[in-house]
């Protein structure tokens, strides 16, 4: 088999294509996050209901990825990913014309289904086409595109809504996403190591169960759930907290705070390189520790300390996610797209659950309630890390004994 190696023109072209893909996916997905206070005002709904504009999208995205991941084993990687990006961009533009919140939720639901074709397949494509030594860097660059798209979608839509309203903000994101789709289509090389299979529901179901028999994969799946759940809860309600007293910041200023997400661009790439040197277990623990420290710092009422905490949380979150997601791709020996889809299913389900559950904690206990929920999520994350470390250590001991014999 011929693999794409780091440093070659094909590696740079592939990385740029997936950077654009990650940008497109997350810009569309998260452009509504800073607009939630606007939805609350215009449609007279509470913060928990407004959070459905994001939660419902991530939930159907999570479910749909299980289907697209399996279909890609039959139909191929690139065609589904390109079609997914194009459809999501078109429906994003249509969302801008929503006359009420119910229509907005319908369009956001369709967007979630459309978006599923990209993230459910991306990690499998990279795992098949990129050499193992370069996979950490390639995955880091893809997640880097995710972070840039998440930043741009939030800041751009928040600023435009402050001056022109949320309709123009969402429409602008859709037009830019069309351009990102064109870049992806032109730059991504066709699969060279993909082998199509016949669509056999029974075998796909069996392989799905096989993945769930691996305790390491289960721990990584749940860790993805906890990481994104805590992230979305934190950033969903930080806007409400900063728009209220004692801060009383403007919508534009709050939108600029989402620029802190750009830290993920450096974190994911830097973490990928550290993993290649020091191993996944050690760097994952450090990432979780940084994430927890950041969460706790946001309890401080001083604005600078609160923003510093958001920065540390973001750094640790993107590092942890890049490690866990690439670990899934390497751990699954067969049906990698399906394993990736399972990880992302739990990952985006965490977004829906954490985002909406965070609204309950916010309404009942305020910002301290949101942080308490996040700390609980991350403590479970440490327990999962300990389980994975123990299993991996035991498997290495067994391997050494076998080699010795």
Q: What is the CATH number of the domain that holds 398?
A: 1.20.1250.20
Residues 6+ apart with CB under 8 A from 358: 51, 232, 233, 234, 236, 237, 370, 373
- On whether the CB atoms of residues 115 and 128 are closer than 8 A, the answer is no
User: How many distinct structural domains can be found in the chain?
Assistant: 1
- The pLDDT confidence band at residue 402, using thresholds 50, 70 and 90, is very low
Domain-located, residue 3: no
Residue tagged 């999570």 (tokens): 62
Average pLDDT over residues 170-195: 88
Residues pairing with 130 in the sheet: 4
Structural domain span for residue 97: 9-190+199-404
Tell me what pLDDT residue 374 has: 97
- The pLDDT confidence band at residue 345, using thresholds 50, 70 and 90, is confident
- The pLDDT confidence band at residue 314, using thresholds 50, 70 and 90, is very high
Tell me what pLDDT residue 337 has: 66
Tell me what pLDDT residue 203 has: 61
Task: Identify the burial level of 234 via C-beta atoms within 10 angstroms of its C-beta, where 0-12 means exposed, 13-18 middle and 19 or more buried.
Answer: buried
Average pLDDT over residues 108-117: 92
Tell me what pLDDT residue 248 has: 86
Domain-located, residue 67: yes
Share of the chain above pLDDT 90, in %: 43
Q: How high does pLDDT run on average in the chain? A: 86
Tell me what pLDDT residue 167 has: 94
Domain-located, residue 4: no
- The pLDDT confidence band at residue 129, using thresholds 50, 70 and 90, is confident
Domain-located, residue 145: yes
Average pLDDT over residues 126-145: 77
Tell me what pLDDT residue 396 has: 65
Tell me what pLDDT residue 373 has: 96
pLDDT at 270 over 60: yes
Q: What is the 3-state secondary structure (H, E, C) of the chain?
A: CCCECCCCHHHHHHHHHHHHHHHHHHHHHHCCHHHHHHHHHHHCCCHHHHCHHHHHHHHHHHHHHHHHHHHHHHHCCHHHHHHHHHHHHHHHHHHCCCCCHHHHHHHHHHHHHHHCCCHHHHHHHHHHHECHHHHHHHHHHHHHHHHHHHHHHHHHHHHHHHHHCHHHHHHHHHHHHHHHHHHHHHHCCCCCCCCCCCCCHHHHHHHHHHHHCCHHHHHHHHHHHHHHHHHHHHHHHHHHHHHCCCCCCCHHHHHHHHHHHHHHHHHHHHHHHHHHHHCHHHHHHHHHHHHHHHHHHCCCCCHHHHHHHHHHHHHHHHHHHHHHHHHHHHHCCCCHHHHHHHHHHHHHHHHHHHHHHHHHHHHHHCHHHHHHHHHHHHHHHHHHHHHHHHHHHHHHHHHHHHHHC
Higher model confidence: residue 282 or residue 75? Answer: 282
Q: For 76-108, how does the pLDDT look when each residue is reduced to its tens digit (9 = 90+)?
A: 788 888 999 999 999 999 999 999 999 999 999
Q: How far apart are CA 154 and CA 325, in angstroms?
A: 23
Structure tokens, 369: 């309630």
pLDDT at 8 over 70: yes
pTM (whole model) above 0.85: no
Domain-located, residue 2: no
- The pLDDT confidence band at residue 401, using thresholds 50, 70 and 90, is very low
Q: For 189-205, how does the pLDDT look when each residue is reduced to its tens digit (9 = 90+)?
A: 887 776 766 666 666 66
- On whether the CB atoms of residues 68 and 341 are closer than 8 A, the answer is yes
pLDDT at 70 over 80: no
- The pLDDT confidence band at residue 258, using thresholds 50, 70 and 90, is confident
Higher model confidence: residue 134 or residue 283? Answer: 283
pLDDT at 404 over 50: no
Average pLDDT over residues 167-196: 88
Average the pLDDT over each of 103-107, 137-141, 215-219 and give the range with the smallest value: 137-141
Domain-located, residue 337: yes
Domain-located, residue 118: yes
Closest CA to 396 of 237, 313, 228, 279: 279
pLDDT at 250 over 70: yes
Domain-located, residue 377: yes
Q: How far apart are CA 367 and CA 376, in angstroms?
A: 14
Tell me what pLDDT residue 403 has: 47
Structure tokens, 341: 């889809």
- The pLDDT confidence band at residue 111, using thresholds 50, 70 and 90, is very high
Phi then psi for residue 130, to 5 deg, are -100, 140
Q: How far apart are CA 114 and CA 346, in angstroms?
A: 18
């Amino acid at each position: 088999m011929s693999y794409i190696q780091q440093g070659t023109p094909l590696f740079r072209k592939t990385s740029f294509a997936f950077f654009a893909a990650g940008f497109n996916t997350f810009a569309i997905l998260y452009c509504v996050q800073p607009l939630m206070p606007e939805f609350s005002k215009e449609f007279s709904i509470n913060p928990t209901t407004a959070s459905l504009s994001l939660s419902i999208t991530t939930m159907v995205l999570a479910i749909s990825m299980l289907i697209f991941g399996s279909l890609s084993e039959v139909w191929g990687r690139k065609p589904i990913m390109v079609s997914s990006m194009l459809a999501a961009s078109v429906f994003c533009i249509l969302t801008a014309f929503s006359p009420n919140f119910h229509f907005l939720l319908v369009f956001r639901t369709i967007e979630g289904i459309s978006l599923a074709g990209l993230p459910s397949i991306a990690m499998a494509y990279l795992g098949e086409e990129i050499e193992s030594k370069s996979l950490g860097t390639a995955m880091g660059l893809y997640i880097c595109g995710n972070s840039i798209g998440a930043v741009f979608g939030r800041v751009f839509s928040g600023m435009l809504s402050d001056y022109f309203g949320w309709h123009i903000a969402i429409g602008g994101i859709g037009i830019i996403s069309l351009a990102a789709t064109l870049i992806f289509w032109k730059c991504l090389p066709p699969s060279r190591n993909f082998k199509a299979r016949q669509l056999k529901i029974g075998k796909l179901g069996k392989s799905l169960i096989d993945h769930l028999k691996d305790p390491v994969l289960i721990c990584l799946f749940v860790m993805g759930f906890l990481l994104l759940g805590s992230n979305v809860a934190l950033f969903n309600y930080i806007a409400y907290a900063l728009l209220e007293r004692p801060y009383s910041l403007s919508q534009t200023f709050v939108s600029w705070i989402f620029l802190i997400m750009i830290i993920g661009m450096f974190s994911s790439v830097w973490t990928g390189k550290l993993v290649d040197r020091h191993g996944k277990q050690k760097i994952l623990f450090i990432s979780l520790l940084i994430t927890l420290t950041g969460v706790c710092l946001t309890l401080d009422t001083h604005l600078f300390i609160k923003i510093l905490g958001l920065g540390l949380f973001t750094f640790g979150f993107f590092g942890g996610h890049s490690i866990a997601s690439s670990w899934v791709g390497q751990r699954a020996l067969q049906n990698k797209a399906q394993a990736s889809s399972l990880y992302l299913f739990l990952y985006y389900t965490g977004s829906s659950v954490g985002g909406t559950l965070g609204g309950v904690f916010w309404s009942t206990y305020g910002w301290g309630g949101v942080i308490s929920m996040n700390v609980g999520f991350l403590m479970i994350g440490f327990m999962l890390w300990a389980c994975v470390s123990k299993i991996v250590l035991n498997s290495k001991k067994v391997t050494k004994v076998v080699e010795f014999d």
